[in-house]
Amino acid sequence: MTSNGMSGRWSDRLGKGLVGKGILALTCAAVAVTALPVMNAGGGLSLVAEANAQEARDIDSFYDDLAPYGDWVEHPGNGYVFIPTGVSPDWRPYTVGQWIWTDEYGWYWESEEPFGWATFHYGRWGYDDDYGWYWVPGDEWAPAWVNWRDSEDDSVTGWAPIAPPRQGYAVGYVATPEPALEESWVFVPTARMVSPRVYQYAYPVRETVVYVNRTPRRWYLPRDRFYVNRPFARERVVKYVGVGNVPVRKVTIVTRRPAWGVRTNDAIFVYRPRYNRTVVVRQPPRVVKKVEVVKKVKVEKTVIRKDVKKETDVKKVNVREESKKQETRKEENRKEETRKEEVRKEEQKQQRREEQTKQQRQEQKAREEQKQRQDAKQEQKARQEQKAEKQQRQEQKAQKQEQNDKQQRQEAKAEKQQRQEQKAEKQQRQEAKAEKQKAKCENNPNKCN
C-alpha cells in the first residue's frame, strides 16, 4: 500500500484511511508543567510554561499565523475559512503525520505540515463541492479532533475529522461529532497506525465503504478540563507492533512553536496557546474574493457517498434550524458553566489519581520482577533436568559399551581356547602317527631304509 503521486511543497505527504467499530473519545485531563528549556523552530530556546500562564489570544490571530500556508476565503456559512496550498491533489486531513501515545491525552496527532499545530488541534475540517477541504477556526485545543472506527478483530483502525457547525466558527463543545463526508475516513492496518507518514499505508478511498460498513460507529464525549483522545487502549496497538514501538510520552507545553519531530524518548513538546471566545470583527489581511480562483483540494466522488448531505446554499437555513442552533448554543453555555464548576473538583481528584497511577506502576513493576525471578528459576530447573537426563544417557551408553566389550573378550577367549584345543589335538595325531611309524620300522627295518 503506497501513496498516490503528489506535488507541491509537501507533495511527499498525504494520507488515506482505516475502520471498524467507531469510537470517539475526547475527555479531559489537567496537566502540570514545570519550566524546562526546549529547542524551538528557529533553533533557539523557549521555556516550558504553565498552560494557564500563557496570554490568551484572539481567535482571529489565526489569519496571520496561517496566511503563508494557504488562502483565506469567505464561506457563506462559516465565515472566513482556510484552504491549504502546496499539498497533494488527493490530500486529506490527518494523513501527513504520525499518531503518538501520551499519558495525559491519549492519541496525539503530530503533523508534519507547517499549519498542522493549528488546523489539527483547533477548529474543524469541512468539505464543500465548491471549496474542497477547508478549515474553520476554533478556540478549544484537543490532541486531535477526530472520530474513530476499529474492526472487530482489531486488525484495521480508522479515523475521520469532525465536521464544523453549519454556521460560524467551531467554538466550545462538539455537539455532533460527525465527519464532513464518508470519504474523509482514513483506514490503515493497525500494525501501521503509529508509523511515520502513515498515509503510505492507508487503504484507497474507494475501499472506504468496505470498512465503514463492517461495524457500526460507537462514540462518547465526556467533558472535563481538557479533551482527551482515548478511543481504545494503547495495548490494542502494542499487540501488533510491540511495546518498544509505542512509547508513552509526556506532553510538555511550550510557549513557542517547536520544529516538527522535536521530542525525547519520553516527552513531546506541544505549542498550545489559549484563545478568547470573542466575536471576530476583522477580516484576514488577504482574502481571496472569488473561490473559483483558489486551488481546491477535492475528494474524488465515489459510489460510497450515498449518505452524505450536500448543501448547495448554506445561506438558505430555515427558521426551525436557526432556532435549534440557538438552543444548542444556550445549552453549550450552560454546560460550559457546569464544566468550570467541575474543574475545581477535578483538580482535587488529580493528585489522588496520580498517586494511584504511581502505585499501580510500582505494583506492576513488582509483578514483572517476580515473574522474571520465577521464569529464571524455571529455566534453571529445566537446565538441571536436561543435564541429569544427558548424564543418565551417557551412563547407559557406557554400561552398554562395557557389556559389549565383556562379551567380545569372552568370545575372543573361547575362540583362543578352541584354537589351542585344535592345535593340541593335531599334535596328538601327529605324535600317534610318528609312534605308529616307529613301531612299523622296528618290526620291519627293511621298509624304513
Residue with the bigger pLDDT between 68 and 15: it is 68
Is the predicted pLDDT of residue 10 greater than 50, yes or no?
no
**Cβ atoms 185, 93 nearer than 8 A:** no
pLDDT of residue 166: 86
pLDDT of residue 36: 36
pLDDT class for 47, splitting at 50, 70, 90?
A: very low
pLDDT of residue 243: 75
Residue with the bigger pLDDT between 448 and 374: it is 374
pLDDT of residue 392: 93
Q: pLDDT digit string (tens) for 171-227? A: 887 767 889 888 899 999 999 999 999 999 999 988 887 888 775 565 644 555 567
Q: What is the DSSP annotation of 40-58?
A: -TTSSEEEB--GGGSPPEE
Domains of the chain, residue spans? 37-317, 321-416
Q: Tell me what the pLDDT averaged over the chain comes to.
A: 78
The stretch 261-282 carries a mean pLDDT of: 80
pLDDT of residue 109: 95
Residue with the bigger pLDDT between 265 and 272: it is 272
pLDDT of residue 201: 94
pLDDT of residue 224: 57
The stretch 302-319 carries a mean pLDDT of: 38
* C-alpha span between 185 and 218 (Å, rounded): 15
Q: What's the one-letter identity of residue 146?
A: V
Q: What single DSSP character describes residue 25? A: B
pLDDT of residue 38: 35
Is the predicted pLDDT of residue 91 greater than 90, yes or no?
yes
Q: What is the DSSP annotation of 313-369?
A: -TT---HHHHHHHHHHHHHHHHHHHHHHHHHHHHHHHHHHHHHHHHHHHHHHHHHHH
pLDDT class for 260, splitting at 50, 70, 90?
A: low
Q: What single DSSP character describes residue 61? A: G
pLDDT of residue 294: 64
* C-alpha span between 86 and 269 (Å, rounded): 26
pLDDT of residue 279: 62
Is the predicted pLDDT of residue 9 greater than 50, yes or no?
no
pLDDT class for 434, splitting at 50, 70, 90?
A: confident
Is the predicted pLDDT of residue 4 greater than 50, yes or no?
no
H or E stretch covering 181: none
pLDDT of residue 298: 64
Q: What's the one-letter identity of residue 229?
A: N
The stretch 139-147 carries a mean pLDDT of: 91
pLDDT of residue 301: 53
Most confident of 11-20, 170-179, 417-426: 417-426
Is the predicted pLDDT of residue 304 greater than 60, yes or no?
no
The stretch 46-56 carries a mean pLDDT of: 49
